[in-house]
């Protein structure tokens, strides 16, 4: 999940953007859940054609945690695009 970016106009051809990300990964091959968040900082430049483009991006991870799925009593994956039902 990502937030709406906050974009500041530096000058008529440059802007700076910042947005946050929260993510969760269910890795059934290692049977873990990974959760975390990060802040992204982007630089934008206006091209000669008038279109704005991201010219640089980077992020700082604010936290990440890993949890063994086996440690959660009763946890069942009931739907997955990559696994059969109940996997």
**Do 16 and 44 touch, CB atoms closer than 8 A?**
yes
Instruction: Let me know if residue 76 belongs to a domain.
Output: no
Stated pTM of the model: 0.74
pLDDT digits (tens, 9 = 90+) for 45-57: 999 999 999 999 9
Residue-number span of the structural domain to which 57 is assigned: 6-71
Give the mean pLDDT of the chain: 93
CB atoms within 10 A of CB 42: 17
* Residue 13 belongs to domain with CATH number: 3.10.450.50
**Would you say residue 85 lies in a domain?**
no
**Residue at 1 is within a domain:** no
Q: Mean of the pLDDT values across residues 26-49?
A: 96
Query: Which tokens belong to 64?
Result: 């990440």
């Amino acid at each position: 999940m990502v937030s709406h970016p906050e974009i500041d106009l530096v000058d008529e051809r440059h802007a700076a953007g910042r947005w946050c990300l929260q993510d969760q990964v269910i890795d059934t091959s290692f049977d873990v859940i990974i959760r975390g968040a990060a802040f992204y900082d982007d630089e934008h430049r206006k091209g000669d054609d008038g279109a704005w483009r991201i010219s640089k991006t980077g992020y700082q991870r604010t936290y990440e945690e890993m949890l063994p799925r086996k440690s959660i009593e009763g946890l069942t994956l009931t739907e997955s695009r990559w696994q059969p039902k109940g996997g």
